[in-house]
Each structure stands twice: as structure tokens, then as C-alpha cells.
Structure 1
Amino acid sequence: MKNCIIIGGGIIGLCSAYYLQKEGHQVTIIDQSNMDSGASYVNAGYLSPSHLVPLSAPGVMKKGLKWMFNPASPLYIKPRLDPDFLKWTLAFNKSCNANHVKKAIPAIKSITLLSQSLYDDIKQEEQFNFQYEKKGLLMLCQTDKMLDDEIETAHMAKREGLDVIELSKEELKVLEPDVTFNIKGATYYKCDSHTTPQEFMEEMKAHLKEAGVRFFTNEKVEDLVVTNGRIEAIKTKNQTLKADEFVLSAGSWSSLLSKKLGLHLLLQAGKGYRINTTQDTGITIPSILAEAKVAVTPMHGFTRFAGTMEIAGINDKINQIRVEAIAKATTSYYPDVTLSTEEKNDAASGLRPVSPDGLPYIGRSAKCTNLTIATGHAMMGWSMGPATGKLVSEVISDKKPILDLNPFQPDRKF
């Protein structure tokens, strides 16, 4: 049995704790927040094997440069003279090629499918009640060009063994009879599922506390005590905590701590926003508004509209222009749905840790023998959470990982 400290209590940290305590390890989670907000709470709740293509795909950088001058665009990269940002941008640009996408697809497919099955196992084994529905995911397209692109992606997904079909507007109406659509057509990934994130997070925290996992909230890790390539302890303002093993799952803040080890994790914070409505939208199947890159999820008691990727440093400011863009896109695709001023004013944001190649960092670095890194999942943290937690526990328990960790190696070169 090892004494393990997990830095960061989002979906990745909680799932790591879950599998570590199941292996018999003593686990402590430390988080700088109150653990009730952020990306793990405001995301779209998708379990998406359909999202096979990494963020760094051909043409994305070109789009990003074009959108740089439009604060309402789906991807907004704020230019700044920061060395970490510039290194990340160069690495991101280098990754935006077809060869990288081809190599990334099998890794993304493996970890998302594993995660989906692990959500099943967790819910059944622990008798959790969180909303978990297997209704698939629609990609709604307003233009012929986008529909052609999505059909091409669907064909690629089908070759990878995923269950996906094309839908006309008429066929879609049969699936969603109570919804009015303003679209040309859609693709439908039957392989996807969705959840209400807050429900899972609350149940998992309660379960872990009952299982003996210690929690320190509102406590920021300020320094690491390192001797001969090993972390001896972490220091906060209030205390020093020793352990045998450490897990770095602090999301967008992970790169700041990794520097203390001489490890320069290339990570940028990608801010996303969500608007909730309790209106009866009639929507029963999750969808992505393809041109606008807005995710729509029928959650437990409300519908969530989430979107945008704003790479503008670590901050929690709400940009109303971007909130308004999500609301406008919603009404554009669903003419009968109008989000109220009150709902828009209640918008929340979260920071997603984005690696330059669209793949997470999972595993050990040569820089430190008792640190396991688990971050950089970008928009896929929710889809990859349980699988990442299981992999972390296997690394620390000296077991052969269930998946090949090479694509996720924290020391990989860009």
C-alpha cells in the first residue's frame, strides 16, 4: 500500500482517487478551489467515442488565425507575448497535419471506449444514481459544405467500427418530433452517451469520503520538496504533506507546478462557457451545432448549451460576447428556443487544459520517479476521466496498463 497525494480534484483527480483506493492505497486529494465549480461541472457531459479527431487537425490553425479578430468565434486564440504560449502555438501548428490525426485516432478511440464502459461499471458497482443516458449524439449541419465534411468524418468513424448513420431533416423529425430544426441534415452517432456532470461529481466525492479518501479544499499547492528526482512533500500555505506517490491532475494549472520539477508541460487554458435553461425545449437527444461548435445536452431537469474554446490565459472572466454567440447559435438551429437574459447572465465558465497535439498527458516523466501526470485532456476530460483514473492507478500500482501509454507520454516531443 502506498500513500498517494492527488493535486487537483476535478473529474481526473476524482477518478484517479477512485481506482487508487480500490487498489488499497491511502489517498489524499488537495485542491485550490471549493471543488464545486470549473470545467468538471460546466461541461456538456458527453461520453463521446465519436470525437475521434484531435483538436489539432488540418486547417484548424488557419481557422484560428482567421477567427483571432472575431471575439464571437468558436475558437479564439488571444495573441500575447508569453514564451509558454508561443511555444505551445508553434507545437500546435506543427501538430495540425493529417499524419498526426491518423496516429491520434486509435489512441483517442481506445481511451474513450474504455472510459464509457468504466462509467457503466462504476454506476452499477457503486449503485450511483447520476443521469446516464445512451441516446447518441447528433451533428446538426446548416450548410451543404459542413454536411459533406461531417458525412466524411462519419464514414471514417464507421471504418473505425463506430455506429453512425446519416439523417435527412425528415428522418431527424421522426427522432425528435417535438423540436423544430433549421438545418440541412445531420449525422447520428449512436455510440455516444451523456450525463449530468454535477450529479456524478457529487456522488463520487461522497463515495470517496466514505471510502476514507481525505480531502483538503481551498488549499493551493505552493511548492514541491524535491530530492534526487523524487518529490518528498508538497507545501501549501497551511501545511506540508508527505507521500510516497503524487498525481498531478490540476488541469490548466498543471504546467505551473510542473516547472518546479524542470518539466515544461506545454499546456494552455481553453475556456468554455455554458448556459442552462429549465424551459421545455423538447430536446431529448444531445447534439452539436456543427458550424457554431455549440454542444446541446438534455440534462436532469434542464437543457445545457455549451461551447467555445477561448485560449486567453488563466482567468475566469465571463466574456458576454461569447455567451451571446452561444445563445444566437441556439436560436439559429432551434428557432423555437430563445435563451432569456436571466439565463445568459447566469452563464458559467471552466478552463480546460489543452495540449498542443490534442492528446492528454498520462504517465510518468523521466524528470521525477514518483509523479504520475494526468492532464491536458482539452474538451475530452469528461469522456476520458474514468479510463485516465484507471491508468493512473495501474502506473502507481506497478501493473501493466490496460492501454498503451506511449501516445500520452508526458515527455513526448512536438
Structure 2
Amino acid sequence: MNKEIIIIGGGIIGLCSAYYLQKEGHQVTILDQSSMDVGASYINAGYLSPSHIIPLAAPGVMKKGLKWMFNSTSPLFIKPRLNPEFLEWTWAFNKSCSAKNVHRGITAIKDIAISGRDLYAEIKTEEKFSFQLEKKGLLMICQTDKMLEEEIKVANIAANEGLAVKELSLHELKKLEPNANIQAKGAVHYSCDWHTTPQTFMEEMKKHLVDSGVVILKNEKVEDIVVTNNKITSVQTKNKTYTADEFVLAAGSWSNLLSKKLGIKLLLEAGKGYRINSERDFGITIPAILAEAKVAITPMQGFTRFAGTMEIAGINHTINKARVEAIANATQKYYPKVQLSTTEKNTVECGLRPVSPDGIPYIGRSKKCKNLTIATGHAMMGWSMGPSTGKLVSEIISNKKLSLDLNPFHPDRTF
């Protein structure tokens, strides 16, 4: 039976949910509080990364976070706040930084990321989209023996999970990237990873959805939700009341603010990331992560993107210049030829990624609301998992057989 569906949130998760729902014949409306041309879905590194199988909450991460707490240029910066929800998230994150959480998350993350990667290719072929989709892999570039050893351990886990990965000597690395002048000890190359230019995909998808009958309403912030007998009957914006049969909560870092109105506790923190673009040619042809600095570099359509940092500091879009400089300085340390100009650094943008305490997204229905499907909390993997999450949302609402096991992603799980 075809349904009327409202999706709250027009980022990568919301758009992909709309894409698969409209293919099932449902009437879909997207409500988004922004102009839908900024944010994490537009400024990310563009990676489709099955290689990122280790969840953010892993052994030693909290210890590093505490060490880096007073260093605003560190890769992970957690700003202390006397806020009950932040403190609860921090406690849950600390509990999740365990080998058990890593073991639980590896297969789930790998499967949904592989599915997402492959669905990008399927969408491109089926809809004749022109967005960049390249299969050059991802380099984890290391400057110290210690980091190289750590990355090789992760690579061995990935290989055991069936992912294509290879350790590279410095000679082999320079053979792959002969014009980039990389300073490193060595690298790990995940040939299983692909990359894209996010802005292009988002623009093509929005046009396709409108052409397919999806209603997209920008600058339409949901302010209240009306619930009767554990079912949403309507959502209220400043301008209008909207009714539907089913609702999807895909509002990224704002999702928990709305879920509270339903009595659903989603532990979420906004993880701010930054990006700098340069149109100069630096000879970089393969995406790379600078392992010690946690900076991502991606050759996109007509420019190179330098992105990074995870700043847990609440919902805000304040640009921290020290973190921008940290990205630029780290890049030059690994690629001496790359000296980002003041003009380039001044064009920096940031986006907020919704981070769950265990680093695993929330996907599915809560027992507290019969006609709501939740899809948020993807942290740094939202771009990789966008299409696969959208497909799962459609399968849930359409009562179809699920393409993946949703138990690891249950929104009612405890920490």
C-alpha cells in the first residue's frame, strides 16, 4: 500500500531515503530547516569507505580525548560542558571504548558501508547521473613506525573481513603517487574504497527527486510533533501543519532535539568537521588520510579537498581558526609542496556530523513510536552509508525483507 511520508532532514540520509521510498510508489515530502546547500553532506571528504570498519568508540580513544581536551588543534577535541545530556553521552562513549564494541561493530559497519558504496554505482548507472565516482582506493599514510604498525593491524582485520588492502613501502607509495612528493614511512592502501564529489551528487539527487514527484521544502524547520497513541499524527513548522502516514527522522545532529518530543532518548553529539578547497594541481591523484594527523585529502572534480578534525562542542558553526591551521600545517608536513594560501583557508566551511556514543548509527523503529523510522548517528560514515541507510528505511516502511540485519543499529539500544 502506498503511503504519504514526511522525511525530516534533507541531507544525504534524507535524500537517499526519499529516493528509495519514491521508487516504491510512496508520496514523499522532505522538510529541512536549511537552504539545503551547506552542512556535512556537502563538505565531507567524499569517501565511500568500507575500510573504516573500526567504530569511533574504540579502546584508547577516550584516553586520547582526555589528553587532547585542552589542545584545540588536536584531531579529536571534546569541549567540556556541564550539560546533563553531554555528560550522559560522554559516559556512554567511555563505556563503548572497548574491544567488545569494536568486535560488535566491525561486521555491521563493513556490510552497510559496502552496500552503500555499491548503491552509489547502481544509482549512477540507473539514473544516468554524472557525479564523480572513482575507484582509486584510499591511502593511510604514516610518518612513524608506531602508526604504521597500528594501521597494519587494522589492515589485517580488514583483510580477514574480505576487504582488499595492501601494505606499501615508501618506494611503492611514491610509485603510486609519483608527482605528490609524499614524506612518510609507508602506507596502507585500501583498494576497496572509492570516492566522489559530494556537492555534485547532492545537486543531481535533489533535481531527480523533484522530477520524480518528491516535494522538497527548504527553510522549513519542524518545531513540534503531535503524538496520539504512540503514533505521530502531524508535525508543526512555523508556517504549517503537515500530516502523513509515516515519518522519517533524518535530521542529523538535530535529531535528538526532536526525538525528545516523542519520549525517545537518542544520545547524540554534533561532531564538527572542516574542509578547505584548492583549485591548484598538487599532483595528488589518490585519496589519502594522514594517519597521525587524521586529515583527509581528496582529489575531486576541479579541485582538491583537505578535510578533518572531530570537534565535539555542541551545535554551533563557529570556525575555529586554530583547527583550520592544524589541517593546513599537517598537510604540508606530509606533502611539502602543498602550502595552502590564506585565501584558500579563508574559504573554509564546517559541517556537523551526528555522533552516537558507540560510533554505530541509529537505524530503525523505536518501540515508543509506531510510525517513525529513525536514521541518524552515522558520525563520519554518513556519506558512505547514505544509500544503504535510505534503502533500509524504504524496506522498513514498505514492509519488505531487509537487506541487512538491523539489530546492531537499533535506536532503543542501551550503552
Q: Same fold (TM over 0.5)?
A: yes
| Counterparts of residues 61-76 of structure 1 (less than 5 Å) | 61-76=62-77
Distance 2:160 2:404 in 1: 21
Which residue number corresponds to residue 370 of structure 2? 369
Aligned length: 414
Give the TM-score of the pair, scaled to structure 2: 0.99
Amino acid at match of 1:8: G
Which residue number corresponds to residue 77 of structure 1? 78
For residues 119-149 of structure 1, what are the alpha-carbon distances to aligned partners after superposition, in whole Å with 9 as ceiling and x for unaligned?
1110000000000000000000000100010
Distance 1:397 1:28 in 2: 16
Distance 2:153 2:376 in 1: 30
For residues 339-394 of structure 1, what are the alpha-carbon distances to aligned partners after superposition, in whole Å with 9 as ceiling and x for unaligned?
00001011000000000000000000001000000000000000000000000000
Distance 2:120 2:222 in 1: 30
Residue 401 of structure 1: SS of its match in structure 2?
coil
Same amino acid, percent of matched pairs:
72
Confirm whether residue 221 of structure 1 aligns to residue 222 of structure 2. yes
Task: Please state how far the C-alpha of 1:328 moved relative to its aligned partner.
Answer: 0.2
For residues 319-356 of structure 1, what are the alpha-carbon distances to aligned partners after superposition, in whole Å with 9 as ceiling and x for unaligned?
00000000000000000110000010110000000000
Which residue number corresponds to residue 255 of structure 2? 254
Which residue number corresponds to residue 6 of structure 1? 7
Distance 2:181 2:5 in 1: 51
Amino acid at match of 1:120: A
Task: Please state how far the C-alpha of 1:219 moved relative to its aligned partner.
Answer: 1.0
Which residue number corresponds to residue 395 of structure 1? 396
Which residue number corresponds to residue 181 of structure 2? 180
Which residue number corresponds to residue 288 of structure 2? 287
Distance 1:407 1:99 in 2: 13
Give the TM-score of the pair, scaled to structure 1: 1.00
| Structure 1 residues without counterparts, runs of 5 or longer | none
Task: Please state how far the C-alpha of 1:173 moved relative to its aligned partner.
Answer: 1.1
Residue 49 of structure 1: SS of its match in structure 2?
coil
Confirm whether residue 44 of structure 1 aligns to residue 50 of structure 2. no
Confirm whether residue 313 of structure 1 aligns to residue 314 of structure 2. yes
Which residue number corresponds to residue 122 of structure 1? 123
| Counterparts of residues 151-230 of structure 1 (less than 5 Å) | 151-230=152-231
Distance 2:386 2:59 in 1: 26
Distance 1:76 1:305 in 2: 18
Which residue number corresponds to residue 406 of structure 1? 407
Task: Please state how far the C-alpha of 1:182 moved relative to its aligned partner.
Answer: 1.0
Distance 2:165 2:112 in 1: 19
Distance 2:161 2:215 in 1: 41
Task: Please state how far the C-alpha of 1:22 moved relative to its aligned partner.
Answer: 0.2
Which residue number corresponds to residue 25 of structure 1? 26
Amino acid at match of 1:220: K
Residue 53 of structure 1: SS of its match in structure 2?
coil
Distance 1:204 1:138 in 2: 28
Residue 358 of structure 1: SS of its match in structure 2?
coil
Alpha-carbon RMSD: 0.4
Distance 1:179 1:243 in 2: 53
Residue 368 of structure 1: SS of its match in structure 2?
coil
Moved >4 Å (runs of 4+): none
Task: Please state how far the C-alpha of 1:100 moved relative to its aligned partner.
Answer: 1.1
Amino acid at match of 1:88: W
| Structure 2 residues without counterparts, runs of 5 or longer | none
Amino acid at match of 1:163: A
Task: Please state how far the C-alpha of 1:117 moved relative to its aligned partner.
Answer: 1.0
Distance 1:256 1:305 in 2: 31
Amino acid at match of 1:394: E
Residue 246 of structure 1: SS of its match in structure 2?
strand
Residue 188 of structure 1: SS of its match in structure 2?
strand
Distance 2:12 2:67 in 1: 33
Residue 204 of structure 1: SS of its match in structure 2?
helix
Residue 188 of structure 2: SS of its match in structure 1?
strand
Amino acid at match of 1:391: L
For residues 133-187 of structure 1, what are the alpha-carbon distances to aligned partners after superposition, in whole Å with 9 as ceiling and x for unaligned?
0000000000010001001111111111010001111111111111101110000
Amino acid at match of 1:199: T
Distance 2:103 2:226 in 1: 40
Residue 365 of structure 2: SS of its match in structure 1?
strand
Distance 2:40 2:224 in 1: 24
Residue 365 of structure 1: SS of its match in structure 2?
coil
Task: Please state how far the C-alpha of 1:200 moved relative to its aligned partner.
Answer: 0.2
Confirm whether residue 150 of structure 1 aligns to residue 154 of structure 2. no
My pick for the range that moved more, 15-24 or 171-180, is 171-180
Task: Please state how far the C-alpha of 1:99 moved relative to its aligned partner.
Answer: 1.2
Distance 2:113 2:75 in 1: 24
Residue 356 of structure 1: SS of its match in structure 2?
coil
Amino acid at match of 1:174: K
Residue 403 of structure 2: SS of its match in structure 1?
coil
Amino acid at match of 1:47: L
Distance 1:157 1:117 in 2: 18
Residue 369 of structure 1: SS of its match in structure 2?
coil
Which residue number corresponds to residue 35 of structure 2? 34
Distance 1:117 1:328 in 2: 34
